């Protein structure tokens, strides 16, 4: 999966169009902070990718490119996946409800793989 990504962060529109154009996986910004720099929309540097059997969180770093933060052989680990990228990036999600983020991602996954 990492090899198929460009060697740069994705634009928000690339993330959305990639997910919409592919039936075999769901690709989302890993958290709201993954595509915002303060109040400004920025490139997507963290991805949550879910297939019918695997969940992977990727992070983009200028020096290394895309790398795997965590991978689960279980597609129900949304809470663990979001927590892993929050800890990896040291995001402050004090104004975000992680449970809501996780529930929304689970609903999107269920809708995409029914």
Give 35-94 as a 3 state SS string: HEECCEECCECEEEEECCCCEEEEEEECCCEEEEEEEECCCCCHHHHHHHHHHHHCCCCC
Walk along the chain (114 residues) and give the pLDDT tens digit of each residue. Answer: 677 889 999 988 888 787 766 777 888 887 766 666 656 667 899 999 988 899 999 999 999 999 999 999 988 899 899 889 888 988 777 666 778 888 888 888 787 755
- pTM for the model stands at 0.81
What residues does each domain of the chain span? Answer: 2-112
């Amino acid at each position: 999966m990492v090899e198929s990504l460009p060697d740069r962060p994705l634009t928000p529109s690339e993330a959305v169009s990639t997910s919409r154009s592919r039936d075999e996986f769901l690709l989302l910004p890993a958290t709201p902070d993954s595509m915002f720099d303060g109040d400004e929309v920025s490139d997507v540097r963290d991805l949550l990718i879910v297939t019918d059997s695997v969940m992977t969180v990727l992070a983009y770093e200028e020096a290394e490119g895309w790398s795997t933060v965590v991978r689960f052989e279980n597609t129900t680990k949304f809470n663990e996946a979001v927590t892993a990228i929050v800890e990896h990036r040291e995001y402050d999600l004090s104004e975000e409800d992680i449970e809501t983020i996780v529930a929304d991602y689970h609903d999107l996954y269920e809708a995409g793989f029914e």
